[in-house]
């Protein structure tokens, strides 16, 4: 059983529409608040060799990426730290603060506890005008499918391509790009930290249409053999880019580096080069 299967269980307890997006959406005066929370564990989420500063940065960037995917401006971040060794706290908090500062957010508090394994839960809040909010639902046949930046770089670093270590250890959430795309009127958007293929299937699950991708148009990680790079671009996790659909006339959007990789099609299927794309990527799994 994987985490997507458990999401369906949660959908029998709370409104399943609440589970469709990267963030919860909450009315807040004349704007909308978006809220996201993420849990990271040292053995499964933080690559060996990371500094405590990088761990704090990554834990914060994960949540800011979710806020960005809704077209929202980040506001506040709270960090709950299950700490294995007290001397690590300073570096973690400084990394979280610096990530907030770099992307226009503020670290405002959280919680602290003793854990056997370092565990960090980050919660991020953002604000967006209702007309600029972007959800995962909204893709329409004829839209283009596009991504920001390059794909597969974080997994490339894990595979030994050291030139991509910064993308792995100090990911850059696409905060300004998300806001610009929201203002421009893209039709659907999400972050792709779990991999492009899995993210396309996530979009498929909430839209009444499908997606056809041309692998020759994928922005591959630099310095990686083409065949390996294409596999990493499709299935590698850890990229903090945005996947979005948009009417063709919207692109290019000023300030956004985007690559059109396909189109939205009427059939509810995900295709690469005309063939069904395997639903595979970064998934938490349980045995039994």
Question: Which tens digit of pLDDT belongs to each residue from 184-223?
Answer: 999 999 999 889 999 999 999 999 999 999 999 999 999 9
Structural domain ending residue among the three candidates 74, 98, 131: 131
Q: Is residue 285 a part of any domain in this protein?
A: no
Percentage of the chain exceeding pLDDT 70:
91
Same domain, 264 and 181: yes
Tell me, what's the pLDDT at 272?
A: 97
Tell me, what's the pLDDT at 286?
A: 44
Q: 64 in helix, strand or coil?
A: helix
CATH number at residue 41: 3.30.1330.10
Same domain, 166 and 124: no
CATH number at residue 150: 3.90.650.10
- Asked if residue 268 has pLDDT above 90, the reply is yes
Q: Is residue 283 a part of any domain in this protein?
A: no
Containing structural domain, residue 150: 135-276
- Angle, helices 89-102 vs 52-69, to 10°: value is 40
- Asked if residue 282 has pLDDT above 90, the reply is no
pTM for the model: 0.93
Same domain, 107 and 193: no
Same domain, 189 and 103: no
Q: Is residue 62 a part of any domain in this protein?
A: yes
Q: Is residue 282 a part of any domain in this protein?
A: no
Same domain, 241 and 270: yes
Supply the mean pLDDT for the chain: 93
Same domain, 31 and 80: yes
- Asked if residue 181 has pLDDT above 60, the reply is yes
Tell me, what's the pLDDT at 134?
A: 98
Q: Is residue 286 a part of any domain in this protein?
A: no
Q: Is residue 88 a part of any domain in this protein?
A: yes
Number of folded domains that form the chain? 2
Tell me, what's the pLDDT at 12?
A: 73
Average pLDDT of span 30-54: 95
The DSSP letter of residue 136 is S
Q: What is the pLDDT of residues 141-174, one digit of tens each?
A: 999 999 999 999 999 999 999 999 999 999 999 9
Structural domain ending residue among the three candidates 98, 131, 164: 131
Same domain, 122 and 78: yes
Residue 102's pLDDT band (cuts 50, 70, 90): very high
Average pLDDT of span 242-246: 98
Same domain, 113 and 139: no
Q: Is residue 239 a part of any domain in this protein?
A: yes
Structural domain ending residue among the three candidates 104, 131, 158: 131
Same domain, 85 and 116: yes
Contact 50, 92 (CB under 8 A): no
Distance CA 2, CA 284 (A): 6
Same domain, 271 and 184: yes
Range with lowest mean pLDDT among 19-28, 39-48, 251-260: 19-28
Q: Is residue 284 a part of any domain in this protein?
A: no
Same domain, 65 and 89: yes
- Angle, helices 196-206 vs 226-235, to 10°: value is 40
Distance CA 178, CA 242 (A): 8
Same domain, 203 and 221: yes
Average pLDDT of span 234-258: 95
Tell me, what's the pLDDT at 209?
A: 98
């Amino acid at each position: 059983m994987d985490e997507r299967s458990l999401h369906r269980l949660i959908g029998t307890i709370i409104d399943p529409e609440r589970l469709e997006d990267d963030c919860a959406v909450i009315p807040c005066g004349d704007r909308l608040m978006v809220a996201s929370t993420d849990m990271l564990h040292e053995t499964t989420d933080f690559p060996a060799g990371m500094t405590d500063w990088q761990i704090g940065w990554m834990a914060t960037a994960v949540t800011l990426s979710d806020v960005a995917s809704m077209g929202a401006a980040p506001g506040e971040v709270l960090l709950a730290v299950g700490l294995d060794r007290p001397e690590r706290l300073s570096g973690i908090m400084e990394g979280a603060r610096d990530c907030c500062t770099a992307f226009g957010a503020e670290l405002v508090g959280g919680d602290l506890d003793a854990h056997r394994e370092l565990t960090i839960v980050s919660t991020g809040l953002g604000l967006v005008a209702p007309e600029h909010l972007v959800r995962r639902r909204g893709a329409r046949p004829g839209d283009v499918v596009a991504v920001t930046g390059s794909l597969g770089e974080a997994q490339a670093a894990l595979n030994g391509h050291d030139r991509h270590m910064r993308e792995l250890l100090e990911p850059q959430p696409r905060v300004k790009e998300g806001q610009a795309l929201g203002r421009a009127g893209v039709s659907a958007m999400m972050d792709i930290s779990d991999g492009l293929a899995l993210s396309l299937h996530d979009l498929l699950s909430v839209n009444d249409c499908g997606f056809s991708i041309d692998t020759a148009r994928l922005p591959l990680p630099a310095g990686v053999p083409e065949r390996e790079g294409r596999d990493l671009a499709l299935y590698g996790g850890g990229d903090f880019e945005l996947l979005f659909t948009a009417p063709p006339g919207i692109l290019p959007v000023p300030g956004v580096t985007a690559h059109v990789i396909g189109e939205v099609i009427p059939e509810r299927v995900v295709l690469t080069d005309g063939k069904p794309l395997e639903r595979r990527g970064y998934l938490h799994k349980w045995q039994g």
